[in-house]
């Protein structure tokens, strides 16, 4: 059987590359005769650069501001065509806060390092810059990014003639009950009072963006991505593309899926959002009726009916296999390998036919 292993990252526990390797170890130990292809994926969040670098090469490194006071080392990619790939999680990711998020970090975290990565790409001669959004620890609307580029006027001038792509599968607007502060603020340490402060900040910043660029992006899909970094990039002339689609294009995912009998994918939490523009939905769309799709995830909140409607043949949770969510997180690679091994040993090749 031809097996394609194409997971997203598992939160902060495993990168997509590490997850693919863990699944492959388990699967091949139980089904050594299967032909296995690894194709780690990303929707623009953590692992975006790693996945692209594994296929395209061109990895570069820069020292930039982290989400708080300290500098961090961030990777980005510049390919032979002059396209740069930047990942916001490399510069302002939740994992870079130095500990659990708090109300203070929710207020203080910024996107300045992302702006420095964009500047590095411009200095290197990039003519197209793709910014992967997701997993950020900030809710500054991209103000830090703009400031790092010299302010709104300077940023607009620097980006003239640059094809700026906002790679995100988050469709949330900047403001309101479905906006960056209300939906994602609590994940970044914000309590109700802090969410209100962040919302007011974003509204004031949105007014500045509109006044400077003549483009009101507050309600545009994706403006709320990565704490509102999407809004700043859109206002600066960016256009939004699906992060999963960007990765799929440059990793040859369609060809890999068409050649597979079984597609194995996964992520940290397999829930309703996974079915709307994320990696798993992209894979089920490509697989159609030609290949079975198996999901191995950290946790699963979907019903069997949800899975069937989404085109997923079967789904298994690491937390159930490990016996606890904590062990699934603390020992993610080994537990994922074990779950993959058990699933492979029990796999019925007729599933999905």
pLDDT tens-digit series, residues 71-80: 999 999 999 9
Q: Between residues 285 and 196, which one has the greater pLDDT?
A: 196
Domain boundaries defined on the chain: 2-41+252-346, 48-243
pTM: predicted TM-score of the whole model, two decimal places: 0.85
33-47, 203-217, 271-285, range with the lowest pLDDT: 271-285
Are the beta carbons of 247 and 278 closer than 8 angstroms? no
Give 244's pLDDT tier (boundaries 50, 70, 90).
confident
- For the chain, percent of residues with pLDDT exceeding 70: 98
Instruction: Output the pLDDT for position 252.
Output: 84
Q: How many CB atoms lie within 10 A of CB 192?
A: 9
* Secondary structure class of 223 (helix, strand, coil): coil
Among residues 226, 259, 240, which one has the least CA distance to residue 110? 226
Instruction: Output the pLDDT for position 89.
Output: 94
pLDDT tens-digit series, residues 255-269: 999 999 999 999 998
Give 277's pLDDT tier (boundaries 50, 70, 90).
low
Instruction: Output the pLDDT for position 248.
Output: 85
DSSP strand E in the chain: where?
2-5, 35-38, 59-65, 71-78, 83-87, 128-132, 163-167, 239-241, 262-265, 269-270, 292-297, 299-300, 314-317
Instruction: Output the pLDDT for position 288.
Output: 85
Following DSSP, what letter does each residue of 313-330 receive, concatenated?
SEEEEHHHHHSSHHHHHH
CATH of span 48-243 = 3.90.1510.10
Instruction: Output the pLDDT for position 352.
Output: 42
Are the beta carbons of 343 and 296 closer than 8 angstroms? yes
DSSP state of 78: E
Give 276's pLDDT tier (boundaries 50, 70, 90).
low
* CATH of the structural domain 2-41+252-346, one choice from 3.40.50.720, 1.10.10.10, 3.90.228.20, 3.40.50.10350: 3.40.50.10350
- Residue 341 phi/psi, 5-degree rounding, is -60, -45
Give 353's pLDDT tier (boundaries 50, 70, 90).
very low
């Amino acid at each position: 059987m031809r097996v394609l292993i194409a997971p997203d990252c598992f939160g902060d526990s495993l990168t997509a590359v590490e997850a693919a390797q863990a699944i492959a170890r388990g699967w091949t130990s139980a089904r050594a005769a299967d032909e296995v292809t690894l194709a780690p994926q990303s929707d623009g969040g953590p692992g975006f650069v790693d996945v692209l670098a594994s296929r395209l090469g061109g990895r570069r490194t820069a020292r930039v501001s982290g989400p708080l006071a300290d500098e961090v080392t961030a990777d980005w990619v510049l390919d032979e065509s002059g396209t740069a790939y930047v990942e916001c999680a490399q510069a302002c990711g939740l994992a870079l806060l130095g500990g659990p998020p708090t109300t203070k970090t929710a207020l203080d975290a910024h996107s300045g390092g992302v702006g420095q990565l964009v500047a590095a790409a411009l200095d290197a001669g990039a003519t197209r810059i793709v910014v992967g959004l997701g997993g950020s620890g900030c809710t500054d609307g991209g103000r830090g990014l703009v400031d790092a580029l010299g302010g709104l006027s300077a940023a607009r001038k620097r980006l003239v003639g640059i094809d700026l792509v906002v790679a995100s599968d988050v469709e949330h607007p900047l403001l309101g009950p479905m906006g960056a502060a209300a939906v994602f603020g609590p994940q970044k340490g914000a309590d109700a009072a802090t969410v209100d402060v962040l919302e007011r900040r974003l509204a004031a910043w949105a007014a500045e963006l509109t006044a400077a660029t003549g483009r009101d992006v507050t309600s545009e899909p994706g403006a709320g991505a990565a704490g509102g970094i999407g809004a700043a990039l859109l206002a600066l002339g960016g256009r939004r593309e699906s992060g999963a689609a960007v990765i799929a294009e440059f990793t040859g995912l369609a060809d890999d899926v068409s050649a597979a009998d079984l597609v194995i994918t996964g992520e940290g939490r397999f829930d309703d959002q996974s079915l709307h523009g994320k990696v798993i939905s992209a894979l089920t769309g490509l697989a159609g009726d030609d290949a079975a799709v198996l999901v191995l995830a950290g946790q699963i909140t979907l019903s069997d009916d949800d899975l069937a409607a989404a085109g997923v043949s079967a789904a298994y949770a690491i937390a159930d296999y490990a016996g606890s969510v904590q062990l699934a997180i603390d020992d993610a690679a080994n537990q994922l390998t074990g779950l993959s091994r058990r699933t492979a040993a029990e796999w019925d090749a007729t599933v999905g036919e």
